[in-house]
Each structure stands twice: as structure tokens, then as C-alpha cells.
Structure 1
Amino acid sequence: MGRKVTVATCSLNQWALDFEGNLERILKSIEIARANGAKYRLGPELEICGYGCADHFYESDTLLHSFQALRKLLESPITQDIICDVGMPIMHHNVRYNCRVLFLNKKILLIRPKMLMANHGNYRELRWFSPWNQLRQVEEYFLPRMIQEVTGQDTVPFGDCVLSTKDTCIGTEICAELWSPRSPHISMGLDGVEIFTNSSASHHELRKADQRVNLIKSATTKSGGIYLYANQRGCDGDRVYYDGCALVAINGDIVAQGAQFSLNDVVCMDMKRTRKERTGSPANTEHKPCHRVKVDFSLSDDGDDIYLPTHQPITWHFHTPEEEICLGPACWLWDYLRRSGQAGFLLPLSGGVDSSSTACIVHSMCVLLCQAVEDGNSQVLEDVHRVVGDDSYRPQHPRELCSRIFTTCYMGSENSSEATCSRAKDLANQIGSTHMNINIDMAVKGILSIFSVVTGKWPQFRTNGGSHRENLAMQNVQARVRMVLAYLFAQLSLWARGKPGGLLVLGSANVDESLTGYFTKYDCSSADINPIGGISKTDLKSFLLYCVEQFQLTALRGILAAPPTAELEPLTDGQVSQTDEADMGMTYSELSVIGRLRKISKCGPFSMFCKLIHMWKDALSPTEVAQKVKHFFRMYSVNRHKMTTITPSYHAVSYSPDDNRFDLRPFLYNTRWTWQFRCIDNQVAINP
């Protein structure tokens, strides 16, 4: 027979280096946990300073301010009579560790450093932290004087240890440790630990949530017990979005689920009616036992729990990829907007799939904001007041809110068609954005006139007899003029309407275009932030179909039916003659496959060819596959330098080409790939 334990886990929207705001959110979560009777509260990874401090972790200021915030937590009456589990960086023996600090009633119980670091993809933890490699080893940590003054302690246990209360035993995992084949919960479970906790900063990617949930279910299926999962929420100041999803699992069942996407800064879950039952393997006496730190405290109340019902499993609701695109980037945009101090967004809206997807994400953000205000979220309403500059304003409808904070502009030229102009206008009308039509021909001709005065020459399009170089330059000058005008209108359009503030410029280049560099450097893809820069064209089309049904945006049907085009070359009989896929030499669906092979499967030209001749054997011959692979790597290597200036984008897929933060590859290549392509040619000669 188990006993009732009362524990709480939470998701917090922390912000790197926002010590004051982070502290307030931590205290709020503890207050909510206590109000619900919880005796233990778990928070996300590095919650005191924020996970995304990056090279600020090197600074002594970050360590100092983290301890100052910890002191305020220890002193607060809110933190009394509840075990608080918080995350912060700590220097021990001149080595920096990513740690959990567990304290109760102004006493630090233990400090548990992270043992397995996240050091791939978006993560660079080994750049700032060292792992605690001493399995089952515990040392004395000398507390800073400011903490000693509060706790009366000189030293506390530091290392691989667990917390033993009068009625149970709690063991800690930190984020990536759950994903490791050597997860600490395995050995802790064999040693009789009953409650496992995981403090995480796990970012959102499309189709990733099920991996996280299945790992947690598996952890308690094998050895039984309770697993509490806390996660960071929000953008934290960088390209990734942490999607929350706090949860509780018991003996292999999910029994509580927090929202994956939410505008709430603090989401706290309590488990007031949880049996501390354990089903699983008996303790293993053949390995070294966990070091137990004992505390005279109980997570359960006195009394007979015979009538307490057993836990009730729930069915986890997984969002579809279309829902994830609708919700994740929208929450990220709102965090960025409200924290940047700007008054809204400006988007060059071309009437194509990409810019329309960005527009729909902003519309989704407005839907979420209106719903949050209707639900009584005072923080969201306060932030809306600050963004629109009106303390009396209360959003009533997403279209009406959109008209206040979202400006779209169609920047047409003599090469633009009436169809794209109409599609952009129709979508703007349906979502409610303030829309402008801007003709760029005068600006383009002015720039070309300057060139002509200096050189005596006037470049021509290919269709008018110009060379390839002239044709490319004529396209690029249009694209770059659009970028200059986008920023001009972002800075001054509200001023022209007699309103305060400026607008953030939104980009709309998808992940496949970034992969090949199919855009002009410093064109209108250059923006402040890009919500779709990590999403494939294939997923964006599915997302727009979802928006047609979810938001009744019927204008999207015509946008989806039209072939993707940059409209930078002259029209033929009034019709578009240039298409993206023809320019790129491959379809967007083919690009998605190539991107995954390049990044996830770590393929170079030859190994990619070897895989694709089997994957595409029913559609393409080896010779055709070889042509596509070589064409891709030429485009990729010629344009790789563009990734050094790409607009910061919402990270949504694991094959993002985002330079320096996620995809660490050179930007100067031998674009001929002579050795690699020769290997492909030799293979084709054998099997043409």
C-alpha cells in the first residue's frame, strides 16, 4: 500500500540574464505549488539565470547574480515548508557546473551537478560547463559567504547523490541525461529511488514531443516509481523555442500533462492525489549504492490513505505538425515582440506560400492573444497595452488586433503579375493586417541610372539579350531594394500614421531555400527575425491547408494553387515565366530529402548519391540522381557564405543550415568537388 505524496512540477518562461523577472516567476511557481499543498517543487534547467546565457556563463557576474537570486529565494517566506529544486551555474574547485540546488527552510540540502552534457545540434554545454564524472562521489562544497549568512551552513554535499526524506527517496536527472543510454534513473531505480525528477531546457522541433514522452514513460515502466518533468518555456532570447510540456508519469503511465504551447509565463502542475506506489524490479545489491542525503521531512501527510484511489492514466495529446507550426512560432514571435519593446511587425507579403505562411503565423499569434485575454490572463493584457501604446485597449477579435500590430506590404514591379498582387491583398484583408501596395520601379531605375552614369552601360535581362551576369544583377537589385524599403517603412510607417514606435521586419525564407542559398544576400529575406526559416516548403503547404480550415482563410487556396516564383524576371504575355523549382533544378520535396541526408545522416556527395539511387530508384536513373546531387552540392557550396548573414530563424527541424549556432560547416568551398564527383561518376559508369 502506498502513501499520498504531494509534489509539483512547472514550466517557466525564463529569459537569459533577466534575474529579476526569473526570480519573480520562480517565486510565483512555488507559491502556486504551496497553495495546492505540494511538499516538493521542481523547476526547469538553469532557471535562475536562464538557459540561453551562452558565453555569459564565462562571466563572474552571472555566477554572482545567480547566488544573489538564490539568497532571495532562501530568505523568502514563500519558500518555507516546501522542498525547492532550482537550477543555476556553480563554480566548484574552479570548475563550472550546471547544477540543481535543493533547499528547505533556509537550509541547502544538496547540490547535484549535471553528469551528461548536451553538446550537439543547438547545444554547446561543454563550451561552458564540465560534467560531473565521479559516479556516486560526493564532496563538500563551501558556500559563498552571502549564503552562509542565511543558512548558517559552511558546507553542503555536492555530487552524485539523492535526497532521502522520512517517507520516500528523490533522485535527480537533468535534461540530456534522460536521453542517454546511461541515464541515471536506471541505477537510481535499482537502488530503490522512488521519485525521479528531470529539470530540462528541451527545445521544440516538429514531431519531437513523442520522443520525450516515450522516454519518460519507459523510465518508469522499467523500474516503477514517479517521474516529474519540468521544462523551460519561451524563446529565452535566441532562435529556439522551449515548449513546456511539464508532465508526471507513474509506473509507465502518463497521469498529468501540461500545455505544450502557452502564453502563460508560469504553468505549475501539482499531484495532490498521487500514490507513492512502486511496481518494478527489486533493488540491485551488486552495484555501488547511491549516496543518500537525509532530511527530517515528509512529502506525505499523516493519516490513513486507504481510500486514496490509484492513479488514472491519461492519453497524451500530440499536436500535428500543422498545429505545431501554428502554435510554436506564434508563441516565439509574441515573446520576441513584447520583450523587444517594438510596436508590431512588418512583412513584405508577396502572395506566395512562404510570406503567406509568415502572415498566418502572426494571425495565429493574435488568435492566441485574444483567447488569453478572454481567459483572464492579466500579464498578456498588460503586454498588449504596452505594445499598442494604449492602456485602455482590450482586444476583441484577432482581425482587429492584427490591424494594430501587423503591417503588410506588396512591393510590386513591372515584373510582378496582377495575380500575386490580388492574392496578397485578399489574404491581408482576411487576416486584418494594415496593407500597402508599394511600387519599386522608380527606386530600381534610380539605382540603375547611377550605375549607368558611372559606367556608361545599362544592364539587360536575359530575355532582352543580356548575359547571365546582367540577368542576375537585374534580379538582385530588385530584391535588395525591397529590403531597404521594408526597413524604411518599418521605422516610419507608424510615425506617418501619427502613432509611436517602430516595427520588427519579418523574413519569410524557408529552410529549403536557405539550404541551397536560393535567395539574394541582403534582400527582403534579410529581416529582424524569421518564423519559418526552419520549416520546409512541404510542411508550410500543409500548414496553409490547415489554416484554410482552422481560420477560414479562403484566400490561401489560390496561393497554394500558384507555382512558387520570385517574379524578378520580365513577364511573358502578362504571365509569370520564372518558377522557383525550375531555377533550383529540383523540387522542394527533393530538397527536403537531400537536407535530411546532408545534416541528419551526415552525408557528403558520394554517400548521398549511394543512398538516393535506392530511395529514388523508381523515379530516377543513377545518372539523373548523380546530376541532382552534383547540382545541389554546387549550389550549396557556392551559396554557403549566405548562411553567415541569414536572418535569425525559429529552429524547427534538425536539418537547419543556420550557420554558427546549429550547422558548423565552412562557408568557403572548392565548389568543383573534383574528388567527390569523380567517385560518383565512377559508380554511374558501373551502373548507369
Structure 2
Amino acid sequence: MVEGFIRVASATPKIKVADVSFNRDAVLKYIDEAEKHGVRLIVFPELVLTAYTCADLFHQTVLIDKTMKALDEIAEATRGRGMVAVVGTPYLMDHKLYNCAAVLHDGHILAVIPKKNLPNYGEFYERRWFTPGREEVRYITRTSAVTKEVYTIPFGMNILLEAEDFPEFILAAEICEDIWVPNPPSTTHALAGATVIANTSASDETVGKDSYRRELIRSASARLVAAYVYTNAGEGESSTDLVFGGQDIIAENGTILKEGNRFETGLYIADVDLQKIVQERARITTYPDIDECLRDRYDVVRFSFNNPGDATMPEEKPFSEGAAAGDSEKHEETGKSLKNKLLLDAADLRRFVDPKPFVPGNVLERNQRCDEIFTIQAMGLKKRLEHIGCKSAVIGISGGLDSTLALLVTARAFDMAGIPRENIISVTMPAFGTTDRTYNNAVTLTKRLHATLREINIKAAVLQHFKDIGHDPEDHSVTYENSQARERTQILMDIANQTDGIVIGTGDLSELALGWATYNGDHMSMYAVNAGVPKTLVRYLVKFVADTSEDKDLSSCLNDIFETPVSPELLPPTGDGQISQKTEDLVGPYELHDFFLYQILRFGFSPKKVYALALKAFSEENQKSAGISEVETYDAGTIYKWLNKFYWRFFSQQFKRSCLPDGPKVGSVAVSPRGDLRMPSDAVAKLWVEELEEI
């Protein structure tokens, strides 16, 4: 399994009302099936052993006696499996009946957690049969109906179950209605340290309830910064007055990883990243510390996944063409390389890993995101223009993606501020690498946006500069390239002085992360509108305007810019006039770099984990699972090569980011030295490179 991940399952079997033996066997069947897939935690519905809809049959002694025995039988079936099962069951204790979640592992009942909030309104009558649970924990003695072993069990709501061999896994449980109340028990559980919440539920279906339920679970996982496994009753419950439709949900910190189909039974599996949850809690400084006084009110049950009792873990079997977790462990034990292990782990990962984390896959959502980002960028620039009383802006327009986006944003900001667009000075500065395609697009774009076009050919000025510093024009080294970039910046700054304006920066977030900018050249401006926008998203922002503009000529121009290879155009074109210098040939694909950037800065993941996630994200299987076709696939060698390059450039180029101009943050990742990234310019990449070298 990839570092920090654990496989969980939500299981809704088809049951029969009051047929405990049938229901027990249905639970066991899903436990067997889950084991084949390497599942470590499986959660079943509320009162699954009897059915939720038994009503006054809960007062029948034979039903309860049979259920208590079935619970021991299921507990015994977990022996040696390395799996925790959470099973909804009635539980009789001290002459009172409780609606409970029983936590089973390695032949034992680890804990019995009662439901606190018993609904007694509308179609619900739980107070007729059950007693509300209490937070305080009592210990009860139980004799197994199967092994006759006598052992003690904690009973109460305030129970945490910690895995000694997976310290990020801390399980707590609540039951159905508990999550629907204003102050759910899961809030206290999370504040006491729980990272995974299991909910055994029996929520009936009414019109529109599914969307509310989905948002309830999703938002609970986000609010708690936790994983939430919600398992709902389904087919087999009595339909006398109600219908139960399942809709199992596995959520992680605000993201739904897996959702069962309504009105269907089934086993739903996903891999949850508990390391991400722990790191998010550490990053969010407003997330409360674990209150020791609160923690003292909890009883902690410790167990081990990998060494249950004296049993030997069975070998896990593959579930698909990719290898299963057991296979990857076997490879590691037999001395296979770490690289092969990571390949197997990535193939086995049971979740979609988004290869474009900055770009929504849904077209409607993507368009909404693009419009929102445009507005943020334009509002930032509008404020700056108003604050300094500036009535003009100067942009170096190249016909590439970044300068195009900057010009589009500036046009919107001028419209918002009520400033005529002709006050936008769009400057094209042809030099040694400029092609007809980009030059013509720069001119067309400026005209269609009604900005003022100025053309200043910089060849003579740069050649004079070469002469001044004694540089051979045939030497196409970094001096040749950067001299052009700095000459252009000087021109833009001077024109801004002439027109009482400011220079609008065009560089994007991806370039800043890689240090792909000429220091005191395109690196510098007076307001950097693109500084928070990654390259993969820049493309779609330009495409968004192309698709929504009523100006057909503008749309045609923007579409061609969208298709133009990314290039600084600082080296002479090919013999047929085409772009010779393609950025992605030099620094690597921006799809990969943006993925690395997101995983490293947003979550602080290790190089090995970033590598494994990239293997999954850019695999054909992962993209097919989500119906994605527009993203490239990359092999392990290519991913490794450019991840190495990313770390080297990211650390070595921090000095450029340490003195960035102002610019608006638009997403969850940014590199401004005044905001998100407080990083010393002299930090070394040794630790990160050494871990990569292990691969």
C-alpha cells in the first residue's frame, strides 16, 4: 500500500427481517470478499444482524439471544484476518437494550459503542425499544458463545481504537441519527484524536434526501478533517411503511472517494489517505490541539493489524490486473527494489488520483472556476490601479498563453474600473526567436481587445548590448537568452514611466515554482496578475474566454494561442519559421510539474509518495476509470526524471521567489514570500534527493 493509505470498505448486504442466521451469513460473506481485496476496515449498516425494522420484535428474547450469539460467531470469523469489522447490532446489558456498533477484530469484540441520539419523531420510534447510550465507558464481562473464552469489553460512546502498527489510524464510531444532530458525537471523537469515523446507519429514503445525506457526510469529513465511512441499510428491510436505499459513502476531508448506488446492495471499497489527514490537521493551526482533559474521558483500545494474536496474516490476493497489497509486501520481503514496490502499490491503489489537481474535470465546474479566477485576478488589479491612481497599464504581449491571460485580465479590470481599454499599452517586442505565428496572434489579440498596440523591435538594442559586454551573438547561451528578456523588461518599465502606468507581470505559478524566469527580467513587474495561476490552468482560462466570447475573430485567435507550444522564443526559429525552443522539452511537461507542485506544497508529501501518486495519476487505467482522455500518460522513468528535476529547480530557485512582486492568490497553493511559502533561499534539497535516489 502507498505510504499513509489504508483500505476501507462500506458493505450493505441484502438481509431478511428477524432472520439472524441469514443476516450473519450475509455479513460473513462480505468479510470474506473484503479480505480478498486487502480491506483493513469494513463497516456494516445499523442493526444489520436483526434488520432495523424489527420494531416490537426487539422485545422478543429469542431474537436478542440469537443476535448475541451471532455477534460472537462473526467475531470469531475475524480471527487472523488483520481486519476490523464494525457491525450494527442490538446489545442487551444490565437489563437494557441498546442500539450499538460492535467493533470486531481477531476473534474478539474490541468495543461496543451505543447510539446516543434515538429519533422518536416522524417515522422513527427508537425510544420505544432502546435506551440512549452514554459517553462514559463501562467494562463488561463477556463469555464467547463460540470459544467460551471470558474477556472484558469496553461499553460506551467515548472509545477510540488505535492501531499500534498504523499510528495514523484512530477509529471512533457513531450511529445514524448521531450525525444529524447539531453537536454530533463525531466532533468530540475527532477532538480527542479520531482520524476515522464509522457510522452504521439506517436512513430511509424520501424525495431529495440523498443529496442532503451526501452533503452531510461530505461536510462532516471536511469539518472534522477526517475520514468518514457511512454505511446505510438497504434491500431486505421491511417495506411496510419505509424503503431503505443504501447509498453508502466513503469520504475523506471533504472529498467523496466512493459512493454506493442507491437501491442496490454491495461492497464499496476505497483507499483513504490518513497521512494526508494528519498533515492537514498539523497545517491548519486553528484545528484544536488534542485536549488532554477530553482525552482522559476516553478509553483507548490498542490493537495490531499485522500481528493479530499469534495468527499469521493470510496472503492477500489481487483484485484486478494490478497487483494487490499482499503482493507488493511479498516483493519487498524477497528483496525486490523499492521502485518495483512503488509500481505495484500505485497499480493497486483503490482511488482515482487526479492528474490535474488544479483543473476541475467537469466542464461546468471548470468554467465556473475559470470565471471565478478571472474575477479574482481582475479585482486585485482593479484595487491596485485605484489605490495608486493609475490610468494606464503596460503589458509585454508575446502571443503566448501567459501574456494573453494577463491582457485578458487587464481588460476586465479596466472595464470594472471604468478606464478606457485604449489605456492598456500592449507592447510587442520582436527579437531573434519571434515567429510569424506568435507575432500575428499578439497583434490580433491586442486589436480585438481594443488596447493600444506598440511594436518595438529589440534586435538592434540587444546586439548593441552584446557588443558592450563583449558577447558573441552566435553564442546562444543563457546570456543570449536573458539579455533579450531584460531588454524587454527595461522597455516596459520605461514606457510605464512615460504613460504614468504600471507594468503587468505575466509569469505564472508553475514558472515561479521552477524558477523558469529571467531574474530581473520577466521575473519582475509592478503587479503580477498570473502569480497564483498554474500553467495547466492558464491554458483553460484562455480556452474559457475563447469558448464564451461572442467575437469570432478573438475566439479564433485565442484557440490558436491555446494550441501554440509553450516557448520563451529566445532562440532563432527553425528553417521553416517554426518555434524551435519548446519549454516542456527543457524543463519537462507542465502536467507533471503542476501535479508535483500540488502534492508537495499542499500536503507536504515525501518524494516516494509523490512518485507513487504520479504513477497512479498518469496511468492509463486511472484515467480510464474517470473517463479522462485529454491527459497524457507517462511511464515510470519519465515521471522519475522530471520529479528529480522539479526538486532541484524548486530548491535552487527560491531566491527568485523571495523577491516576487505583488499578485493575487487564487487557489490553495501559492509561492508568495509574504503568504504561503516562507522558505529560505539557501535551503538544500539533499534530504529529498536522497530519498529519490533510494528508488
Both structures adopt the same fold (TM-score exceeding 0.5): no
TM-score normalized by structure 2?
A: 0.42
TM-score normalized by structure 1?
A: 0.42
